[in-house]
Amino acid sequence: MPARAPALLAAPAAGATPLWLTNARLLDGTGAAPRAGAAVLVRDGRIAAIGGAGEQPPLGASTVDLEGRTLMPGLIDAHAHVLAKLPAPAEGTEPLLPGTAAHVVAGYLREALRRGVTTLRDVGSYGATVVEARQAMRLGAFRGPRLLTCGRIISATSPGGRFFDGMYREADGADDVRRAVREQLRGGADFVKLMTTGARTVELEDPDPAQMTPAEVATAVEEAHRLGYRVAAHAEGLAGTELAVAAGIDTIEHGMYLNQRPDLLERMAEQGQVLVPTLSCFYGVAGLDEPGGHAPPTWSALLVDLAKHNLEQAGHTLTAAHAAGVPIALGHDWNPFYNSARELERMVAHGLPARDALVAATATGAAALGLDELGTVEPGKLADLLVVDGDPLSDPGVLGRRERIWLVIQLGEAVAGSALEAAP
């Protein structure tokens, strides 16, 4: 990630007071076993040292006794659509005003941070709301997660461009694709996203054939990588997924049929390409997202049936990718976007060991985004930390219970959590 990446420039000021976080049960995000009785020193927004709870706090540090709670890296969601779906006003009521959605998005970003999500990668939203929200956070208007955006998704001219008007930048031919990449970086994008296949949420799009040509994909990857930016690929059908893997795209989004191509999984593992499985979007389209797992589907019957099939395939791919050694990052890909912990719980339910799911939500998420200074609790890393009142290893669902998010620390500053909301 370039040093001048917009998401890094927009980071808030580091906490002014050193913190001595003691009596912690430390899950460092590397996949190592938890360490009881740990203490972590945070200074100038970074993790300065890791010691034991019996050690004396450094001079000038403020001591926070975690009383055995779990200390871990903040959650990283590698696949979010940072937008707000507002209900249509009832007839006779006040129509929605143009700026209302942006205020709702800001509220959702605050809620994401409150739930322990300290970094979000926006992989497609409408208009300029995301970059405006990022700028507002830079100016101190509100606190939210570190926010990366791709700007417009680069797509061939396609039916999806009609359905997602304002989310796509349609481009045809290598020269136009190169121009589209440059336009996104000009607008403040942190990475580039391509539609190598169509979308399963559009009836008129068939995800099976590749949507872009090999020359178009290669040009986009060449231009982004030349300038120091990473590339994500929406990849559903196998032809487009194979094209994305062959082109060296950094993250493969969805990729639910990869279980049918062990050779591609092996190649991804060799090349270090990250899979972002996005189980929750299949739950949502299939109408399985509500408590109890059933709700009247709001999508067309064709897409509901496809989502159920894709969920089955995605589960197979999750376990096959894990067995093949493919890096896996968490991506919720559903609304409200702040509910990232639901995806972690589903990854475990579909066969990913809890320890590896936690790594997917922290260290591998950081690697997928190119943010090497995040994702683990190690000296020198940025102090985006989460304190949980419970054990996410034995009960991953604890991360989805808002009241159990005891403290959220952003760059060494305690910014959210039930500990800050307790009555005086």
Here the contacts of 32-41 (C-beta below 8 Å, separation 24 or greater) are 34/70, 34/393, 36/68, 38/71, 40/71, 40/377, 40/385
pLDDT in tens, 54-109: 899 999 999 999 999 999 999 999 999 999 888 888 999 999 998 899 999 999 99
DSSP string, 376-400: S--TTSB--EEEESS-TTT-GGGGG
Residues 258, 213: contact at Cβ < 8 Å?
A: no
Residue 242 token pair? 């194979």
- How much is the pLDDT for 5? 80
Q: Where are the beta strands (DSSP E) in 266-389?
A: 274-276, 385-388
- How much is the pLDDT for 85? 84
- For residue 405, pLDDT over 90 is answered with yes
- For residue 1, pLDDT over 50 is answered with no
- How much is the pLDDT for 87? 85
How large is the average pLDDT for residues 318-322? Answer: 98
pLDDT in tens, 263-274: 999 999 999 999
Burial of 4 per CB tally in 10 Å (0-12, 13-18, 19+): exposed
Asked if the peptide bond before residue 336 counts as cis, ω within 30 degrees of 0, the response is: yes
Q: Which residues pair with 323 in a beta bridge?
A: none
Residues 372, 76: contact at Cβ < 8 Å?
A: no
The pTM assigned to this predicted structure is 0.96
Average pLDDT, the chain: 95
pLDDT in tens, 117-167: 999 999 999 999 999 999 999 999 999 999 999 999 999 999 999 989 899
Neighbours of 46 (CB within 10 A): 17
- How much is the pLDDT for 53? 85
Neighbours of 87 (CB within 10 A): 6
Rounded Cα distance between 413 and 153, Å, is 34
